[in-house]
Chains A and B, each alone.
Chain A
Amino acid sequence: MAKSQTKTYQQLSDELNKLIDWFESESVNLDEAVDKYEQAMDILKRMEEHLQTAENQVKKIAVKFDAG
């Protein structure tokens, strides 16, 4: 089950949630905020692309589960 190089939707979603939490925290540095906002927009774009284009794949396991 080797994971591909690109991030999974769940990983992107986790990163986005971290950024949202950061924005909702008490002390937000404005210089950092601009940077993080751009990161968040980039992640959102990749998540939307995933939702619009990603297709499921079925891989049949080449193992026989017969007895013996």
Chain B
Amino acid sequence: MDGMVLAPADFVALLNQTLEFAYPSVVIEGELSNFRISKNRWVYFDLQDELASVKFFGTVYNLPGPLEDGLKIRVVGSPRLHPRFGFSVNIASISPVGEGSIKKAADLLATKLQAEGLFDETRKRRLPEIPATIGLITASNSAAYADFIKILNERWGGVVVHLADVYVQGAQAPLQIVRAVEYFNELSSLVDVLVITRGGGSAEDLASFSDERVVRAVAASRIPTVVAVGHEIDISLAELAADLRASTPSNAAQLVVPHRSQSIAGLATARKSLGDVITQRFQAAAQETQSSREYLTAQVNLLLSDRQKMLQSTKKLMSAYDPRAALKRGYAIVSKQGKTIASVRQLKPGDNLGVQLADGTIGAKVQEV
């Protein structure tokens, strides 16, 4: 290269080729300073220590959440010489490091997302009572996976678990988790419930679950989502955005399916109460038939006795009209040639009469009229 004359553009191209070959990816950790976002899209900052300061460049999509100067962060990127703006490291991923910085970054993000309402109780949906399918996002070789499946099998059967095997820590974890959540949400037939889980670890190990992209993906999931990270005491922002937080992977399995022994007991109760209810229904119907029979009998009897009374009074009335009753009291019926005589004008002296008394008829002759 000695004595070789290069145009500035050629020098830049040559240097970038060399950098790409020698340092395709570097990981740099330092204190964040001069952090700024331009046009809501471009991100610029420096990482520094006591002896040096390095410039970085990226987009907002690389950010794990809101950042501020003073935080200690680790950046994965590739060094580049820009033809006009000079040297910088192009960012591939950023993660806060050290407990203090991780907590500070999580607090900044929590405040922002809280204000947007991502953690509101009103956003939370109920899980299905008994899922037939579960989308499980975790590392397949992890204790978290083994614990979840173990407890699931102990409690319930017949569930199809679709496992998305992802990194749950490290620089690749946030985007892998986001892609897995999106994968499940884009299926034409959705799973009944989504479970995102990992075991306990250091603040750094769990940091992916407080990454803004992960938290937003959880909040945006169309599928009811459970997030279980770490031990009882670890709370990540993804858990706050989930429909339900579980304290451990085992606890997630407890929350998504009932225990079969409870269900067996429930079925026995249902069987007994169905038996009882059908017996009651038949008894009630028999009782109703019996009551109807008694009512009908009573009604018929009432009708009969009414008719009987009516008959009696008619009988009395009829006997009052009976002419024989008058004959018994001493009256007589006078007839001539079989015709009853009601007037003296029908008679003349010498007519032969029949005189009917109560106990017989006598013959008589008219003497005078």
Contact call B267/A30, Cβ cutoff below 8 A: no
Given A23-B277, A44-B270: A59 touches B161 (CB 8 Å cut-off):
yes
Q: How large is the interface on B (under 10, 10 to 19, 20 to 34, 35 or more residues)?
A: 35 or more
Contact with B along A19-37 (1 / 0, CB 8 A): 1100110001010011001
Q: How far is the CB of A4 from chain B (nearest CB, A)?
A: 9
Q: Which of B140, B158, B267 has the most CB of A within 10 A?
A: B158
Q: How far is the CB of B164 from chain A (nearest CB, A)?
A: 5
Contact call A58/B161, Cβ cutoff below 8 A: yes
Chain A to chain B: the 7 pairs with minimum beta-carbon distance, closest first: A54-B158, A54-B157, A8-B132, A65-B176, A1-B189, A65-B179, A10-B130
Contact with A along B156-175 (1 / 0, CB 8 A): 11111111111000001001
Please, which residues of chain A bring their CB within 8 A of the CB of B162? 1, 59, 61
Q: How far is the CB of B181 from chain A (nearest CB, A)?
A: 10
Q: How far is B117's CA from A24's CA once the two chains are assembled, in angstroms?
A: 43
Contact with B along A36-51 (1 / 0, CB 8 A): 0100110010011011
Closest residue of chain B to A51 (Cβ to Cβ) is B260
Give the interface of B toward A (CB within 8 A): 128-133, 136, 140, 149, 152-153, 156-166, 172, 175-177, 179-180, 183, 187, 189-191, 260, 263-264, 267, 270-271, 273-274, 277-278, 281-282, 285
Contact call A2/B189, Cβ cutoff below 8 A: yes
Q: How far is the CB of A28 from chain B (nearest CB, A)?
A: 5
Please, which residues of chain A bring their CB within 8 A of the CB of B273? 20
Q: Give the residue of A8, A23, A48, A55 whose beta carbon is less than 8 angstroms from that of B278.
A: A23
Contact call A1/B158, Cβ cutoff below 8 A: no
Q: How far is B165's CA from A39's CA once the two chains are assembled, in angstroms?
A: 42
Contact call A47/B163, Cβ cutoff below 8 A: no
Closest residue of chain A to B172 (Cβ to Cβ) is A67
Q: How far is the CB of B260 from chain A (nearest CB, A)?
A: 5
Q: How far is B158's CA from A55's CA once the two chains are assembled, in angstroms?
A: 5
Besides A56-B156, A67-B172, A67-B175, 20 new A-B residue pairs in contact (Cβ under 8 A), listed by A number: A1-B160, A1-B162, A10-B129, A10-B130, A33-B281, A37-B274, A47-B267, A53-B157, A55-B153, A55-B158, A56-B159, A57-B160, A57-B161, A58-B161, A60-B163, A61-B165, A63-B164, A65-B164, A65-B166, A67-B176
Contact call A56/B285, Cβ cutoff below 8 A: no
Q: How far is the CB of A19 from chain B (nearest CB, A)?
A: 8
Please, which residues of chain A bring their CB within 8 A of the CB of B189? 1-3
Q: How far is the CB of B28 from chain A (nearest CB, A)?
A: 19
Please, which residues of chain A bring their CB within 8 A of the CB of B159? 56-57
Q: How far is B361's CA from A62's CA once the two chains are assembled, in angstroms?
A: 129
Please, which residues of chain A bring their CB within 8 A of the CB of B179? 65
Q: How far is B277's CA from A24's CA once the two chains are assembled, in angstroms?
A: 8
Contact call A56/B153, Cβ cutoff below 8 A: yes
Q: How far is B270's CA from A23's CA once the two chains are assembled, in angstroms?
A: 12
Q: Give the residue of B158, B177, B274 whose beta carbon is less than 8 angstroms from that of A50.
A: B158
Q: Give the residue of A1, A8, A40 whose beta carbon is less than 8 angstroms from that of B191.
A: A1
Q: How far is the CB of A6 from chain B (nearest CB, A)?
A: 10
